[in-house]
Chain A
Amino acid sequence: RKEVEQDPGPFNVPEGATVAFNCTYSNSASQSFFWYRQDCRKEPKLLMSVYSSGNEDGRFTAQLNRASQYISLLIRDSKLSDSATYLCAVNVGGSQGNLIFGKGTKLSVKP
């Protein structure tokens, strides 16, 4: 079983829709959690960190459920520019930490 798992999608949604992605992780010792966005053939870019209390940044809301070992990302009022692959990333600690990425969930927002 892969350490970080995501539904690969694609999620095809109309503009203005609300869409949610989940990501599960297997290592209960995981310490910190992130969502990265990756456009086709481009580098991953940090979208947001995920805190235990949940956090919101504009149209994006991230939640962490440690008991069930999953994190989620909610995008409200989808824009065409939100089309990308969303990578879940988990840090299990260690020296300076390194990230274990999921394979990503592809989102396509249509007009």
Chain B
Amino acid sequence: AAGVIQSPRHLIKEKRETATLKCYPIPRHDTVYWYQQGPGQDPQFLISFYEKMQSDKGSIPDRFSAQQFSDYHSELNMSSLELGDSALYFCASQGWGMNTGELFFGEGSRLTVL
């Protein structure tokens, strides 16, 4: 079965650079969530989209923005990168009718900021 696809899987950037992460949800899933997981930390909710509209916002820095496109894929744009942004970024998707909280996660994009 198709899963959540994230790209790139690994990304190395310098401080103050920008980065874009992409997420392709499971087909027919209309909700996308972004989470950030630092080393040894729990996943922290950043932002979510439902039917291409932002549905909820968590601890996403102002330097980050995201959107969901007409084909339901989502992109997380990160600017003015800081060392503390180094983390694993997960995208998760959920389909209509599924129990809230039953999320399918992608394998993550590992961002390293030098």
Contacts and interface: CB of A to CB of B under 8 A. Distances in A.
A98 interface: yes
Contacts of B86: none
Interface stretch (B13-21, B38-46, B63-71, B72-80): B38-46
A43 interface: yes
Contact of A98 (B33, B88, B105, B106): B33
Nearest to A91: B101
A95 B56 contact: yes
B56 A94 contact: yes
Given A96-B31, A96-B55, A96-B94, A101 B99 contact: no
Interface string A35-52: 000000111111001000
Interface in A1-30: 4
Interface residues of B, number: 25
Given A32-B101, A49-B99, A96-B50, A43 B107 contact: yes
Contacts of A91: 100-101
B45 A34 contact: no
A64 B36 CA distance: 27
A15 B104 CA distance: 29
Contacts, number: 66
Contact of A87 (B42, B88, B106): B42
Interface string B22-57: 000000000101000000011111001010000110
B101 A89 contact: yes
B50 A102 contact: no
Given A32-B99, A32-B101, A43-B90, A99 B31 contact: no
A95 B55 contact: yes
B8 interface: no
Interface of A: 4, 31-34, 41-46, 49, 87, 89, 91, 93-104
Given A4-B42, A96-B48, A98-B45, 16 more contacts: A32-B100, A33-B101, A34-B101, A43-B90, A44-B103, A46-B104, A49-B101, A95-B50, A96-B31, A96-B50, A96-B56, A96-B94, A99-B33, A99-B103, A100-B45, A101-B42
